[in-house]
């Protein structure tokens, strides 16, 4: 990267990588001694849904790479209907960039993709941060039809980003104030924006969640073979992917530290970006084979 | 404290405080800008069971106060058979020292005492670190008679501190190596030692665990009123007080961050003292009303 490229998701230009007849939209910014950090996004999220208060502090120690999976934002192709399909695209993207390994922040859907990636090709990642996500066979994954979520999502007063205030945060005044600040940060970027995801993206990704809930053999058994140092993060009040899934991850992954936040929902990283980026930076800076930092 | 007093539990002299016809044994060492940190000890533990790798780094930022509750070590009186009784002694001790408030590290039994103290007198503590402990009504609290623990405790090969290697750590080579280092650190102190606890202490404290398992009304409801910033810590493999109890604490306390460690049992703070003291120091240094650090 040129040192004049602004190290912020508010201003970094969107780039496009051609691989296997596919065009992937991405942004890459920041610098430092760390290996590049691939950020894998949530359900229906695009490059523009990455909070600069999360990405930018991390970009002071390493390059941060944001990525639209196939069919999302300005990436071409069909949205895979399985996590495995999304993992194949993410690996193809990294291969196309010539990156043999990276660190990964996988948020929600993106955390599942990260887990699948390290199962399919362990060398693709060194350390992982898994936020608000679930293992295969997890419980109550993204059931937006359940009453507690459906009423908030279908409320006509919640337009655009406003719905995120209701489903990523808790009802407390403190959490809602953090939600306002989050939305304000997302709205800073004015140009070179991704198109918002529509029902085609949502339906395919929802199918991938349903498939991810299925499991064969001993539940969570595949996690025990993943030895990558992992930091698992969640809000204790996550109603989209309950915190119990983070418990199962930290109990069954061989090498995982768990951090949970109070009075926080699915968007804990956006509610407490200073804490999240400080802990994540400390975790990623470790050269140990242990997740403990 | 005189600045010449060594800030280590290996060398700090044991002191005695007379309160209400009772003599409490304690050690007080360290200095810094932080308010004093009271450390409340585990089942049958005395002043000599505090790992200097935990106490000493914390004593660089504040005074650390280690305390034998009534009937333990060289403190006089009867061992209370309830957590509430232990909390009364701890508060009387702080009153006797003239400390209106403190931070608290409560480990195992000591974490229960800390919870009871802030319910009985909220001003007694500013911030709490609760390690390997459980709320009232918690599950599977210190059932040493269950086969997984009983076989290890009754093994005649496990004499003295050796039993701690088997019940505070996991069987992995890494955890057992950490156990050896822990025992070695405990053995550094040669003089001015507490007598080890015998069956009288053990039986009374075990009674307190059994009483603490009982609850009335909505389970964990009393935790919601505790607003003290709290850091909850545990090893995911704790067999003495399972990590699920730490989940219930962080879910029901109003203001708690949870940190869990991989490949660790009840003694996670002794297995990872560098990480534990770094996170604890950062947590205690915060001036925020939030537990998030």
Q: Write the secondary structure of chain B as one string of H (helix), E (strand) and C (coil).
A: CCCCCCCCCCCCCCEEEEECCEEEEEEEECCCCCCCEEEECCCCCCHHHCCHHHHHHHCCCCCEEEECCCCCCCCCCCCCCCHHHHHHHHHHHHHHHCCCCEEEEEECHHHHHHHHHHHHCHHHEEEEEEECCCCCCCCCCCCCCCHHHHHHHHCCCCCCCHHHHHHCCCCCHHHHHHHHHHHHHHCCCCCCCCCCCCHHHHHHHHHHHHHHHCCCCCCCHHHHHCCCCEEEEEECCCCCCCCHHHHHHHHHCCCEEEEEECCCCCCHHHHCHHHHHHHHHHHHHCCCCCCCC
B117 at interface of A, judged by CB pairs closer than 8 A? no
Contacts B254 to A, Cβ<8 Å: 262-263
Q: pTM of the entire structure? A: 0.97
Q: What is the pLDDT of residue A4?
A: 55
Q: What is the pLDDT of residue B5?
A: 56
The CA angle B12-B14-B18, to the nearest 5 degrees, is 140
Q: Is the pLDDT of residue B2 over 50?
A: no
B139 at interface of A, judged by CB pairs closer than 8 A? no
pLDDT per residue over B168-186, tens digit each?
999 999 999 999 999 999 9
What is the Cβ-side half-sphere exposure of residue A207, based on CA atoms within 13 angstroms? 12
B178 at interface of A, judged by CB pairs closer than 8 A? no
Q: Is the pLDDT of residue B219 over 80?
A: yes
CB-CB under 8 Å, A236 with B254: no
Is the ipTM, as predicted for this complex, more than 0.90?
yes
CB-CB under 8 Å, A259 with B272: no
Select the residue of B243, B251, B262 nearest A256 (Cβ to Cβ): B262
Mutate to test the interface with B, among A260, A268, A280 (most CBs of B within 10 A): A260
Confidence grade of residue B153 (pLDDT, cut at 50, 70, 90): confident
pLDDT per residue over A209-230, tens digit each?
999 999 999 999 999 999 999 9
Contacts B261 to A, Cβ<8 Å: 257, 292
A263 at interface of B, judged by CB pairs closer than 8 A? yes
Contacts A290 to B, Cβ<8 Å: 174, 262
Instruction: Give the residue from A43, A44, A86, A34 showing the smallest Cα distance to A65.
Output: A34
Mean pLDDT score of chain B: 96
Select the residue of B174, B243, B259 nearest A257 (Cβ to Cβ): B259
Q: What is the pLDDT of residue A108?
A: 98
CB-CB under 8 Å, A275 with B255: no
**Cα(A222)–Cα(A208) distance, rounded to whole angstroms?**
18
From A157's Cα to the closest Cα of chain B, the distance in A is 29
From B225's Cα to the closest Cα of chain A, the distance in A is 14
Q: What is the pLDDT of residue B1?
A: 45
Q: What is the pLDDT of residue A159?
A: 77
Average pLDDT over residues B204-211: 98
B141 at interface of A, judged by CB pairs closer than 8 A? no
Q: Is the pLDDT of residue B139 over 50?
A: yes
Chain A residues 157-176 within an 8 A CB cutoff of chain B? 174
A250 at interface of B, judged by CB pairs closer than 8 A? yes
For A228, the closest chain B residue by CA position comes to B262
B292 at interface of A, judged by CB pairs closer than 8 A? yes
CB-CB under 8 Å, A257 with B260: yes
A47 at interface of B, judged by CB pairs closer than 8 A? no
B276 at interface of A, judged by CB pairs closer than 8 A? no
Question: Count of CB contacts below 8 A, A vs B?
Answer: 57
CB-CB under 8 Å, B262 with A253: yes
Instruction: Give the residue from A288, A103, A277 showing the smallest Cα distance to B272.
Output: A288
Average pLDDT over residues B140-157: 90
List the pLDDT tens digit at each of the 293 positions of chain A.
Answer: 445 556 999 999 999 999 999 999 999 999 999 999 999 999 999 999 999 999 999 999 999 999 999 999 999 999 999 999 999 999 999 999 999 999 999 999 999 999 999 999 999 999 999 999 999 999 999 999 999 899 888 888 777 888 999 999 999 999 999 999 999 999 999 999 999 999 999 999 999 999 999 999 999 999 999 999 999 999 999 999 999 999 999 999 999 999 999 999 999 999 999 999 999 999 999 999 999 99
Which residues, 6+ apart, have CB-to-CB distance to A2 below 8 Å?
none
Mutate to test the interface with A, among B130, B258, B276 (most CBs of A within 10 A): B258
Q: What is the pLDDT of residue A2?
A: 47
Q: What is the pLDDT of residue B133?
A: 98
Q: What is the pLDDT of residue B85?
A: 98
B17 at interface of A, judged by CB pairs closer than 8 A? no
Kind of pairing between the strands at B256-261 and B230-235: parallel
A261 at interface of B, judged by CB pairs closer than 8 A? yes
CB-CB under 8 Å, A258 with B236: yes
CB-CB under 8 Å, A236 with B262: no
pLDDT per residue over A249-282, tens digit each?
999 999 999 999 999 999 999 999 999 999 999 9
CB-CB under 8 Å, B251 with A236: yes
Q: What is the pLDDT of residue A153?
A: 87
From B274's Cα to the closest Cα of chain A, the distance in A is 8
| Cα end-to-end distance, chain B, whole Å | 29
Q: What is the pLDDT of residue B209?
A: 98
pLDDT per residue over B97-135, tens digit each?
999 999 999 999 999 999 999 999 999 999 999 999 999
Contacts A293 to B, Cβ<8 Å: 275
CB-CB under 8 Å, A243 with B251: yes
Q: What is the pLDDT of residue B230?
A: 99
Select the residue of A258, A272, A292 nearest B275 (Cβ to Cβ): A292
For B244, the closest chain A residue by CA position comes to A247
A19 at interface of B, judged by CB pairs closer than 8 A? no
Q: What is the pLDDT of residue B159?
A: 77
CB-CB under 8 Å, B259 with A258: yes
E strand or H helix that includes residue A19: strand A15-19
């Amino acid at each position: 990267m040129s040192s004049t490229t602004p190290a912020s998701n508010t201003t970094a230009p969107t780039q496009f990588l051609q691989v296997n007849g596919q065009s992937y939209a991405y942004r890459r910014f920041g610098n430092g001694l760390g290996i590049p950090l691939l950020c894998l996004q949530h359900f229906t999220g695009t490059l523009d849904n990455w909070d600069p208060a999360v990405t930018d502090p991390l970009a002071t120690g390493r390059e941060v790479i944001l990525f639209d999976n196939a069919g999302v934002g300005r990436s071409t192709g069909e949205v895979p209907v399985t996590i495995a399909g999304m993992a194949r695209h993410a690996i193809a993207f990294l291969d196309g960039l010539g990156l043999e390994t990276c660190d990964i922040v996988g948020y929600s859907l993106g955390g599942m993709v990260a887990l699948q990636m390290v199962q399919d090709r362990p060398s693709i990642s060194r350390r992982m941060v898994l936020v608000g996500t679930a293992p295969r066979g997890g419980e109550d994954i993204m059931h937006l039809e359940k009453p507690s979520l459906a009423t908030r999502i279908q409320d006509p007063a919640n337009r655009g980003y406003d719905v995120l205030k209701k489903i990523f945060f808790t009802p407390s005044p403190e959490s809602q104030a953090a939600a306002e600040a989050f939305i304000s940060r997302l709205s800073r970027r004015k140009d070179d924006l991704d198109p918002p995801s529509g029902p085609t993206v949502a339906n395919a990704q929802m199918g991938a969640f349903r498939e991810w809930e299925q499991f064969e053999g001993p539940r969570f058994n595949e996690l025990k073979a993943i030895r990558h140092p992992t930091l698992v993060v969640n809000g204790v009040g996550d109603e989209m992917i309950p915190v119990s899934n983070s418990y199962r991850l930290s109990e069954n992954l061989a090498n995982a530290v768990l951090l949970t936040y109070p009075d926080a929902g699915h968007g804990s990283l956006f509610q407490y970006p200073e804490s999240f980026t400080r802990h994540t930076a400390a975790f990623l800076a470790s050269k140990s084979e242990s997740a403990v930092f």
